[in-house]
Amino acid sequence: MHPNPIFRKTPEGRNIAFAREIGFGMLAISTPDAPLISHIPFLLSEDGKLVEFHLVRSNPIVRAMKDGPVTARIAVQGPHSYISPDWYGIDDQVPTWNYVAVHLSGDIALAPEDGLLDLLDRQSEGFEARLAPKQPWVTDKMSEGVMERMMRQIVPCKMAVTQIDGTWKFSQNKVDTARHLAADHVDGYGIGSEVRLLAAMMRTDPET
C-alpha cells in the first residue's frame, strides 16, 4: 500500500464493495525461496470477513496448506494509468501513476470438499448475473459425469480476513482544478487499464 495517508482515507465499506465487485485478484504467500502467487476469482462476504475461492489441486499453495492455515494476501487491482506532469496545468510536477488497489490479508486454509459444487455454483451465478439478459450458465448444463471429473482436479479454499487496506491514488495531493484537468487528459489518452473509468473516479471524492 502507498505510504502517503492522503491516498488511504477511503472507508472500509468502499474497499469491501470494490473487492467484491472485481472478484478477481492475485493471491500471494511467502516461502523460504520466493513468494508463491496465483491469480484467482473469488467471492467476498458482504462484511469482508470471508473470502472463498478454489485452486487447482496441484498448485504449490495447496500443498503449503496441507499442514494447516497459511498467512496470505490477495491484491485486487482496479483501473490505473500513467499521469503526465503536463496534465496538471501547474509547474514543477513529476510523472506518476494513479490507480486503485485493495489488499485482503488473513489466513487461508483448505475448505471441506463437499462444499465445492456449492462454491462453484455461487461463483458462476454471481458473474453470470452481470451478463443479463443472457440466459445464465449453470453446472446442470454439463453432461453427466463431466463436472464431477473436472471437480476432482480442484479444491475449495477460504481466507479468514483480518485486515483490509486500500489505496485510491487520484492525485488528491493536488488542488481540485489540477486533479480534474489531469482526469480530462486521462479520459482522452491515458496509458493503462480502463482509463476512462479511472478518469471518472478521479473526479469523485475517494473519502466517501
Instruction: Dump pLDDT digits (tens) for 165-194.
Output: 999 999 999 999 999 999 999 998 878 888
Could you tell me the three cell numbers for 56?
A: 487447482
What is the per-residue pLDDT for 204? 87
Count how many Cα atoms sit within 13 Å of the Cα of residue 40 in the half-sphere of its side chain: 29
Return the closest-CA partner of residue 170 out of 87, 99, 95.
99
Domain contains 131: yes
Domain contains 208: no
Q: Across the strands, what pairs with 36?
A: 29
Domain contains 25: yes
Domain contains 33: yes
What is the per-residue pLDDT for 29? 98
Give 139's DSSP letter. G
Quote the pTM value.
Answer: 0.92
Element (H, E) at 60: helix 60-64
**What are the pLDDT digits (tens) for 85-108?**
999 999 999 999 999 999 999 999
Cα 185 to the center of its chain, rounded Å: 26
**What are the pLDDT digits (tens) for 112-147?**
999 999 999 999 999 999 999 999 999 999 999 999
Q: Provide the CATH number for the domain around residue 161.
A: 2.30.110.10
Count how many Cα atoms sit within 13 Å of the Cα of residue 95 in the half-sphere of its side chain: 5
Tell me the one-letter amino acid at 138.
V
Per-residue CA distances from 73 to 31, 62, 98 (Å): 13, 15, 22
Q: What is the total count of domains within the chain?
A: 1
Domain contains 182: yes
Rounded to 5°, the CA angle 64-68-74 comes to: 60
Domain contains 151: yes
Contact 156, 113 (CB under 8 A): yes
**What are the pLDDT digits (tens) for 9-41?**
999 999 999 999 999 999 999 999 999 999 999
Domain contains 207: no
Domain contains 117: yes
Could you tell me the three cell numbers for 21?
A: 465487485
Could you tell me the three cell numbers for 168?
A: 485510491
Return the closest-CA partner of residue 205 out of 181, 177, 172.
172
User: Count of CB atoms within 10 A of residue 196's CB?
Assistant: 14
Q: What are phi and psi of 58, to 5 degrees?
A: -85, 0
Contact 123, 138 (CB under 8 A): no
Domain span holding position 147? 5-202
d(CA 87, CA 6): 20
